[in-house]
Amino acid sequence: MARRSLPLLKHLLSSSSTSTTPTLRRSVTYMPRPGDGEPRPVTLIPGDGIGPLVTNAVEQVMEAMHAPVYFEKYEVHGDMMRVPSEVMESIKKNKVCLKGGLTTPMGGGVSSLNLQLRKELDLYASLVNCFNLQGLPTRHQNVDIVVIRENTEGEYAGLEHEVVPGVVESLKVITKFCSERIAKYAFEYAYLNNRKKVTAVHKANIMKLADGLFLESCREVATKYPGIKYNEIIVDNCCMQLVSKPEQFDVMVTPNLYGNLVANTAAGIAGGSGVMPGGNVGADHAIFEQGASAGNVGNEKLLEQKTANPVAVLLSSAMMLRHLQFPSFADRLETAVKQVISEGRYRTKDLGGSSTTQEVVDAVIGALD
């Protein structure tokens, strides 16, 4: 009896183990060069408001993962006249920066430090990835949009003056050079990330010369990527399409101002500014930060209660790790964050929960593989 039941027992044990235990598959991502594992310095700007709270979340997670990065931390605040020279030197030396939100004073007197960083470091491409997170309910599903925005000119050129009292002129600057390089970056991103379509956002029906030049540049670059579908959409129609059928969009390339509006709209559709990662990149330097506008930076209530959502900055730091060619660390971090969101036990108020920032951080650290 025992001999006859032994094969059956072995069969049951083998079938149950294969059905409940997934096979561990470790993919070969890249072959590092000798020395690639050396810790890399990263300039850290905690910023204003909730910035220190959420960037500290990144510091804790990096330490828990034993990630091969270390931070050079500097105090920078939005009411400063300029970014301190030692901070600029650190970013230029390290080539990578992680940044919390910096408040930008309204009206005259103090210029935006965010703009100073982008212009001085020539961070010409802003990238925001807006996508559905499993377990997080949203109005639309299957959203996975990458908004690539020209970051150095357009309405943000900062060329304003008062012609006569009561009349102010603000110049929108569009150049062939900047339009071509942002179009090239968008198509290159789509090509390298197996994306299928690039959509150029414009208002060339009204601004025929400025936005017309931007479109002309996009069309020329598109001819060099025949495997990627290219189309165009007027910015006002784009906003309507985003809130009605966002799943139709893949990669979007935009001039400066439109990109800010489109990225924040897409972020709101996909789950909110608290979960959308982003970064600004140029030929030599990159700054990673919360993807959508940090409207919650100066929220005193979030700061007092320590309930700011750290997910966006954590996912941005995963982007940073990939940029530094540490893909396995990036995968571990991203997987842990997505697992915490999917389980739903630890979420901040903006995601329908009641957790503190530290509780979310502890959950992410606990979920690290």
What pLDDT is stored for residue 4 in this prediction?
44
Per the model's pLDDT, the better-predicted residue between 12 and 276 turns out to be: 276
109 DSSP 8-state letter: S
What pLDDT is stored for residue 196 in this prediction?
96
**28 band by pLDDT with thresholds 50, 70 and 90:** low
Place of tokens 């970013």: 91
- Residue 200 pLDDT > 50: yes
Mean pLDDT of 338-349: 94
Residues forming a β-bridge with 200: 232, 253
**242 band by pLDDT with thresholds 50, 70 and 90:** very high
Place of tokens 């079938």: 15
Instruction: Report residue 209 as tokens.
Output: 């010369």
Burial class (CB in 10 A: 0-12, 13-18, 19+), 15: exposed
What is the percent of the chain with per-residue pLDDT over 90, rounded to a whole number?
73
What pLDDT is stored for residue 18 in this prediction?
42
Residue 111 near residue 94 (C-beta atoms within 8 A): no
Q: In whole angstroms, how far apart are CA 242 and each of 247, 249, 295?
A: 8, 8, 20
- Residue 3 pLDDT > 60: no
Secondary structure class of 17 (helix, strand, coil): helix
- Residue 21 pLDDT > 50: no
> Over the stretch 100-147, which tens digit does the pLDDT of each residue have?
988 877 766 557 898 899 999 999 999 999 999 999 999 999 999 999
106: CB partners within 8 A, 6+ apart:
none
- Residue 238 pLDDT > 60: yes
- Residue 20 pLDDT > 60: no
- Cα 161-164-168 angle, rounded to 5 deg: 40
- Residue 46 pLDDT > 90: yes
116: CB partners within 8 A, 6+ apart:
82, 83
What pLDDT is stored for residue 107 in this prediction?
61
324: CB partners within 8 A, 6+ apart:
40, 42, 69, 96
**Range from 160-164, 213-217, 244-248, 274-278 carrying the lowest mean pLDDT:** 160-164
What pLDDT is stored for residue 294 in this prediction?
58
**Range from 53-57, 91-95, 159-163 carrying the lowest mean pLDDT:** 159-163
What pLDDT is stored for residue 146 in this prediction?
97
Place of tokens 């690639």: 36
pTM of the model: 0.88
Which spans in 162-234 are helix H?
A: 176-192, 210-222
Q: Mean pLDDT of all residues in the chain?
A: 89
As a dihedral over the C-alpha atoms of residue 11, residue 12, residue 17, residue 20, rounded to 10 degrees, the angle is 140
- For residues 174 and 165, give the distance between their C-alpha atoms in angstroms, rounded to a whole number: 27
What pLDDT is stored for residue 284 in this prediction?
95
Place of tokens 């100073």: 116
- Residue 24 pLDDT > 80: no
What pLDDT is stored for residue 305 in this prediction?
85
- For residues 290 and 310, give the distance between their C-alpha atoms in angstroms, rounded to a whole number: 9
How far from chain centre, in Å, is Cα 259?
13
**26 band by pLDDT with thresholds 50, 70 and 90:** low
Phi-psi map region of 35: left, alpha, beta (phi>0 left; psi -120 to 50 alpha): left
> Over the stretch 276-321, which tens digit does the pLDDT of each residue have?
999 999 999 999 999 887 566 667 777 778 889 999 999 999 999 9
**29 band by pLDDT with thresholds 50, 70 and 90:** low
- For residues 192 and 32, give the distance between their C-alpha atoms in angstroms, rounded to a whole number: 19
- Cα 339-344-345 angle, rounded to 5 deg: 105
Max Cα-Cα span within the chain: 104
What pLDDT is stored for residue 23 in this prediction?
47
